Structure 1
Amino acid sequence: MISALLLSFGVIFVAELGDKSQLMAMTFALRHKWWIVLGGITAATTLVHIVSVGVGHYAGAALPATAIAIVGGIAFIGFGLWTLRGDSLTEDETTRAEQNKAPAFFAVMSAFLLAELGDKTMLATVTLAADNDWVGVWIGSTIGMVAADALAIVVGAIAGKHLPENFIRISAAALFLAFGAWMLVHIAAPTAPALLVIAPIVLVSGAVAVGLGRLGSKPKSADLTLDPG
């Protein structure tokens, strides 16, 4: 079991580096407490990987990744548009949101569940469980993914202290749109470079972020009055 644990930890940790899940972890860390984000990631990873090792160990076949990826891609585009629109909270709503951690936790968990179903880390876990001890694969793959995403959480938590709210919101929307576009394009053309789709989305969202930042920095114009004389 130890050898399977160490093998799975190494494989999944390396596979997760630079993956969209790390960018998601960084994005969530800009807006939520690090322990909420880490808890949501851990819960989602535990659920996804227990399914993965079950499929690999008992069934020996992968889940229908294409259908799941389509749903996930559409959902992420919806998340991006929702984030781009933005929301405003009253003082009472802000206080309740800060005191109630459940919505943020479940938002992180559901987002990672969508992202990981059918992802390469899930398929890698299925493959590892087919030839290794399933308990070791489950523990090792879960720890490996959480450790990799924890690095992104640290980066996001540090950077978030120096970034304006508009920039964080638009950047989060750009990443969600990029995730959705990448997932859908990968289905239609698996060999096509995702950069061709992701780059325009990031550039457009970045331009919007700059525009909002400049708009917010302009002083309000004074009311004009007519001098009867």
Structure 2
Amino acid sequence: MDSLFVSAGVVAVAEIGDKTQLLTLALAARYRRVAPILLGILLATLANHGLAAWLGAAVAGWIGPDLLRWIVGGSFLAMAAWCLVPDAADEGAAESRPGWGPFLATLVSFFLVEIGDKTQIATIALAARFHDVILVTCGTTLGILLVNLPAVLLGDVAAQKLPMRLIRAAAAASFAVLGGLTLWQGAALMPG
């Protein structure tokens, strides 16, 4: 169960102020329909993070546990640094094609914008760390939903009121702690 809760917590903190949350705010402001937007986010995240978790677990099986520990630890430290860089909404990311409703616009745009995003990279690292595709995918999806639900409900008001610098620092600290612990475990296991 640690993999579920750690994945949800880390990704929730990392998602605050992320470009996908900004996309959610834009979609909420445009469509003003909670259920189809949340369903689109849920399905897009399950698909995207399910693939990412599978990749992370597969990579963990291909390389040895010692090398994996160093790669995952370094990845978490890189994520800590990345979290300190503010995201901006991609231009046109919230635009939908004519005739697309809020569900399809959210599903497609959220899936595409999440590709290569820090929460997707974190999902890969978390699955490699915990070796549990299902619980990591559920955890990261839960984290995304926890952060995006208020964004859908509150729209632009939330984006203007949250202390983004403090939130980015908290996300960076979470990843730094995970990276440090992973590297420390790797160093402790080295023959000396």
TM (normalized to structure 2)? 0.60
Question: Percent of aligned positions with the same letter in both sequences?
Answer: 35
Write out aligned runs for 1:149-168 (5 A): 149-156=148-155
In structure 2, give the amino acid aligned to 1:4. Answer: S
Residues of 1 paired with 2:92 and 2:152: CA distance?
Answer: 23
Which structure carries more relative contact order (alpha carbon 8 Å, separation 6+)?
Answer: 2
For the pair 1:50 / 2:50, whether they are aligned, the reply is: yes
Shift of the 137–103 alpha-carbon distance from structure 1 to 2, 3 Å rule, reads same
CA deviations over 1:124-171 (Å, ceiling 9, x no partner): 000000020222111111100111111111111879xxxxxxxxxxxx
Q: Post-superposition shift, 1:114?
A: 1.1
Residues of 2 paired with 1:78 and 1:9: CA distance?
Answer: 28
Shift of the 158–19 alpha-carbon distance from structure 1 to 2, 3 Å rule, reads closer
Residues of 2 paired with 1:103 and 1:19: CA distance?
Answer: 23
Q: Post-superposition shift, 1:59?
A: 3.0
Contact 1:5 1:137 in 2 (8 A): yes
In structure 2, give the amino acid aligned to 1:52. Answer: A
- Partner residue, 1:127: 125
Residues of 1 paired with 2:141 and 2:14: CA distance?
Answer: 12
For the pair 1:18 / 2:17, whether they are aligned, the reply is: yes
Residues of 2 paired with 1:157 and 1:35: CA distance?
Answer: 18
Shift of the 56–149 alpha-carbon distance from structure 1 to 2, 3 Å rule, reads same
- Partner residue, 2:162: none
Residues of 2 paired with 1:153 and 1:113: CA distance?
Answer: 17
- Partner residue, 2:38: 38
Shift of the 58–3 alpha-carbon distance from structure 1 to 2, 3 Å rule, reads same
Shift of the 131–79 alpha-carbon distance from structure 1 to 2, 3 Å rule, reads closer
- Partner residue, 1:107: 105
CA deviations over 1:8-39 (Å, ceiling 9, x no partner): 00000000011111111111111221111111
In structure 1, give the amino acid aligned to 2:39. Answer: G
- Partner residue, 1:29: 28
SS in 2 for 1:115: helix
Write out aligned runs for 1:123-202 (5 A): 123-132=121-130, 133-156=132-155
TM (normalized to structure 1)? 0.50
Report which of the two structures shows the higher radius of gyration computed on alpha carbons.
1
CA deviations over 1:161-216 (Å, ceiling 9, x no partner): xxxxxxxxxxxxxxxxxxxxxxxxxxxxxxxxxxxxxxxxxxxxxxxxxxxxxxxx
5+ unaligned residues in a row in structure 2: which ranges? 63-89, 159-192
Shift of the 18–28 alpha-carbon distance from structure 1 to 2, 3 Å rule, reads same
In structure 2, give the amino acid aligned to 1:153. Answer: V
SS in 1 for 2:154: helix
In structure 2, give the amino acid aligned to 1:155. Answer: L
Contact 2:15 2:144 in 1 (8 A): yes
Contact 1:5 1:136 in 2 (8 A): yes
How many aligned positions are there?
A: 127
5+ unaligned residues in a row in structure 1: which ranges? 62-75, 88-96, 160-229
